[in-house]
Amino acid sequence: MFIGAIGCEPLQLARVHLENSRSLDVYRKNGGYQAIKKVLDSMSPDDVINELKKSALRGRGGAGFPTGMKWSFVPKDSPKPKYVVCNADESEPGTFKDRYLMERDPHMLIEGMLIAAYALGAKTNYIYTRGEYRYLIDIMDVALEEARAAGLLGNKILGTEFGCEIYTHTGAGAYICGEETALLSSLEGMRGHPRMKPPFPAVSGLYAAPTVVNNVETLTAVPDIIKMGGEAYQKLGTEKSGGTKVWSVSGHVNRPGVYELPMGYDDMEKFIMEDCGGMLGGKQLKAVIPGGSSVYIMRADQIIGKDVRMDYEGIVAAGSSVGSGGFIVMDETVDVFESTKNLTEFYKHESCGWCTPCREGTDWLVKVFKRIAAGHGRPEDAQLMLDLCDNIEGKSFCPLGDAAAWPIQSAIKRFPEDFRKHLVTSIDSGVST
Partner 1 sequence: MSTEVIKVNINSKEFEVPKGARLIDVCRDKGFDIPSFCYYSDLALQASCRMCLVRIEKMPKLQTSCTIICTDGMIVTTQSEEIEKAQRSMLEFLLANHPLDCPVCDRGGECELQEMTFDWGGLEERFIEKKNYAPEKYLSPMVANDPQRCILCKRCTRVCDEWMGEDAIEAGGRGANTVIGTYGGWLDCSQCGNCIEVCPTGTLLDGTYRHQARPWELAQTISTCSYCSDGCEMSLGSRAGELMRIVARDRYVNGHNGEFLCIKGRFGHPFVNHEDRLRTPLIRYKKGGKLIPATWDEAIRYTAEKLKAAAAAYGPDALGVVGSPRITNEANYALHKFATEVVGTKNYAATDAFSLKPFFDNLGAPLATHRDIRYAKTILLIGGEPEELQPLTAKQIRQAVSNGAAKLIVINSVPIRLVEHAAQFIHIRPGMENAAVWALGHSSNETTAAQKMGIEANELSALRQTITETEGDVVIMFGGELNAAAQMIVAQLANSFRADTRRVLLHPLPLYNNSVGAHDMGMMNGAMSVAEMLDATGSSIRALYVAGSFLPEHLRGREEALAKLDFLAVHELFETDTTAFADVVLPAASFAEIDGTFTNNDGLVQRVRQSIPPVHQAKPDWMITAALAAELGKDFGFQMSASAVFREIAERIPAYSGLRYPVLKDESNPVQARYNIVEPRDLSSALNELKQTVAALPDDGEKSNVTPRVGHELFKIGTLTDKVSQFHLLAAGNPRPDTVRVSPLYQITVDAKLERDAAVSGD
Where does this chain bind partner 1 (CB under 8 A)?
174, 191, 196, 348-357, 359-364, 367-368, 370-371, 384, 391, 394-397, 431, 433
Whether residue 180 contacts residue 63, with contact meaning beta carbons closer than 8 Å, is answered with: no
Alpha-carbon gap, residue 287 to 306, rounded angstroms: 14
Alpha-carbon gap, residue 229 to 227, rounded angstroms: 6
Alpha-carbon gap, residue 393 to 405, rounded angstroms: 6
Task: Please count the helices (runs of H) and the strands (runs of E) in the chain.
Answer: 17, 10
**Closest separation in Å from C-beta 393 to partner 1:** 9
Alpha-carbon gap, residue 384 to 370, rounded angstroms: 14
- Which residue number, 330 or 368, has a Cβ lying nearer to partner 1? 368
Alpha-carbon gap, residue 337 to 74, rounded angstroms: 44
- Which residue number, 253 or 366, has a Cβ lying nearer to partner 1? 366
**Closest separation in Å from C-beta 327 to partner 1:** 28
For the chain, the straight-line distance linking the first and the last C-alpha, in angstroms and rounded, comes to 44
**Closest separation in Å from C-beta 325 to partner 1:** 25
**Closest separation in Å from C-beta 363 to partner 1:** 4
Measured at the alpha carbon of residue 113, what is the angle toward residues 110 and 119, in degrees to the nearest 5?
145
- Which residue number, 217 or 381, has a Cβ lying nearer to partner 1? 381
**Closest separation in Å from C-beta 380 to partner 1:** 9
Count CB atoms within 10 A of the CB of residue 277.
15
- Which residue number, 1 or 373, has a Cβ lying nearer to partner 1? 373
What is the crossing angle of helices 45-55 and 106-120, to 10°? Answer: 120
- Which residue number, 156 or 367, has a Cβ lying nearer to partner 1? 367
Q: Quote the longest CA-to-CA distance of the chain.
A: 77
**Closest separation in Å from C-beta 364 to partner 1:** 5
- Which residue number, 110 or 388, has a Cβ lying nearer to partner 1? 388
